[in-house]
């Protein structure tokens, strides 16, 4: 089989290939977003945008773990929703490929305000980052860790935009499918599985944590099995599309997430470990796999692990 079709669809938005630049990776400006697209990404997600500008945490904000993983706590540094919408608008003017917004807030109401403003940039989709604590909650519980809170945010965002939304789920929960079902019922058009896993690294000579925030998010190859499991379980639990994200470094990693049930796959830490050319490299690896195993379309791979399971 010589020719394969790498295109896929995420909530009705066509992607020329299944690889998406994940939020927070070299994606704070229109130029950076377009640059990733020129290097083979099928779509790009801008860094999380909050209602007000945020400076982020002081250095050090990240630490490499092995060759292909890292822990980071950037602190959601961003220019705020007004400038964020403008960057999206500029990116849209420079490319025909999908531009996806990402919003974050610390109250339910602010999620709605941010969604309404960021929609002025006319992104193709809006990803909703719910992993931050709710300052209105007595215990500061992260929205993504409570099905009721997650549903409230979903409804608030949906009420303030006509653009389809993707709710980004956290793996730091007892049962991710409970949250997935809650946001689906509340109107989410898709979900992202997963955000980073909370962790810490201590420098034994100084006896202190290696990043200024002490705790951070673990990303990269180390979390891939957790992401695959979350995708697999959510695919069985909900009927909305899944954007797989977490630990994808190679074409085979991407295929695992597609077979688990993702319709597209986010690339984050691998941009640092394999360079911005990682998109072209992984696309080529996926294409080679499909040719060698007689697959002609990405749709044949999506959820394939479940189909094989059902036949047993």
pLDDT tens for 144-196 read: 999 999 999 999 999 999 999 999 999 999 999 999 999 999 999 999 999 99
Other C-beta atoms closer than 10 Å to the C-beta of 12 total 11
Kindly report, residue by residue over 43-55, the tens digit of the pLDDT. Answer: 999 999 999 999 9
Residue 225 lies in a domain: yes
Domain count, the chain: 1
CATH number at residue 120: 3.20.20.70
Averaged pLDDT for residues 258-264 = 98
Residue 203 lies in a domain: no
Residue 207 lies in a domain: no
Kindly report, residue by residue over 219-249, the tens digit of the pLDDT. Answer: 999 999 999 999 999 999 999 999 999 999 9
Kindly report, residue by residue over 62-91, the tens digit of the pLDDT. Answer: 999 999 999 998 888 999 999 999 999 999
Q: How confident is the model at residue 139 (pLDDT cuts 50, 70, 90)?
A: low
Residue 1 lies in a domain: no
Task: Annotate the chain with DSSP letters as a single string.
Answer: ----B--EEETTEEESSSEEEPTTSS-SSHHHHHHHHHTT-SEEEPPPB-SS-B--PPSP-EEEETTTEEEE-----B--HHHHHHHHHHHHHH-SS-EEEEEE-SSHHHHHHHHHHHGGG--SEEEEE--SB-TTSTT--BGGG-HHHHHHHHHHHHHT-SS-EEEEEPS-SS-HHHHHHHHHHTT-SEEEE--PEEE--EETTTTEESSTTS-EEEEEGGGHHHHHHHHHHHHHH-SS-EEEES---SHHHHHHHHHHT-SEEEE-THHHHH-TTHHHHHHHHHHHHHHHTT--BGGGTTTHHHHHHHH-
Averaged pLDDT for residues 278-302 = 98
Residue 184 structural domain: 8-57+74-197+217-311
Please tell me the distance from the alpha carbon of residue 196 to that of residue 226, in angstroms, as a whole number.
10
Residue 211 lies in a domain: no
Residue 23 lies in a domain: yes
Q: What is the pLDDT at residue 2?
A: 65
Kindly report, residue by residue over 110-125, the tens digit of the pLDDT. Answer: 999 999 999 999 999 9
Q: Nearest 10 degrees: CA dihedral of 277, 282, 285, 290?
A: -140
Q: How confident is the model at residue 289 (pLDDT cuts 50, 70, 90)?
A: very high
Residue 139 lies in a domain: yes
Q: What is the pLDDT at residue 1?
A: 46
Residue 8 has pLDDT above 90, yes or no: yes
Averaged pLDDT for residues 130-135 = 73
State the chain's mean pLDDT as an integer.
Answer: 94
Report which of residues 118 and 310 the model is more confident about.
118
User: Hey, which residues are catalytic here?
Assistant: 132
Residue 302 lies in a domain: yes
Least confident of 96-100, 223-227, 261-265, 307-311: 307-311
């Amino acid at each position: 089989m010589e020719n394969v079709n790498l295109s896929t669809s995420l909530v009705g938005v066509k992607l020329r290939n299944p690889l998406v630049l994940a939020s927070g990776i070299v994606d704070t400006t229109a130029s950076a977003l377009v640059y990733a697209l020129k290097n083979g990404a099928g779509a790009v997600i801008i860094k999380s945008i909050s209602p007000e500008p945020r400076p982020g945490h002081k250095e050090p904000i990240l630490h490499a773990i092995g060759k292909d993983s890292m822990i980071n706590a950037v602190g959601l540094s961003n220019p705020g929703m007004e400038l964020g919408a403008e960057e999206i608008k500029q990116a849209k003017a420079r490319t025909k490929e999908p531009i996806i917004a990402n919003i974050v807030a610390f109250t339910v109401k602010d999620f709605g305000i941010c969604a309404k403003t960021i929609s002025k940039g006319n992104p193709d989709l809006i990803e909703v980052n719910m992993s931050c604590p709710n300052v209105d909650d007595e215990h500061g519980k992260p929205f993504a860790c409570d099905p009721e809170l997650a549903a409230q945010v979903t409804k608030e965002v949906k009420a303030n935009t006509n653009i389809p939304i993707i709710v980004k789920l956290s793996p730091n929960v007892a049962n991710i499918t409970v949250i997935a079902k809650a946001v689906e019922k509340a109107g989410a058009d898709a979900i992202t599985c997963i955000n980073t896993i909370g962790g810490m690294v201590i420098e034994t000579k100084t006896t202190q944590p290696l990043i200024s925030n002490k705790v951070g998010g673990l990303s990269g190859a180390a979390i891939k099995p957790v992401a695959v499991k979350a995708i697999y379980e959510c695919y069985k639990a909900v009927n909305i599309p899944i954007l797989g994200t977490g630990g994808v470094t190679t074409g085979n990693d991407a295929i695992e997430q597609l077979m688990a049930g993702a319709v597209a796959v986010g690339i984050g830490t691998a941009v640092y470990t394999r360079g911005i050319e990682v998109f072209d490299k992984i696309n080529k690896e996926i294409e080679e796999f499909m040719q060698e195993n007689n697959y002609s379309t990405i749709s044949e791979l999506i959820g394939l692990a479940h189909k094989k399971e059902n036949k047993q």
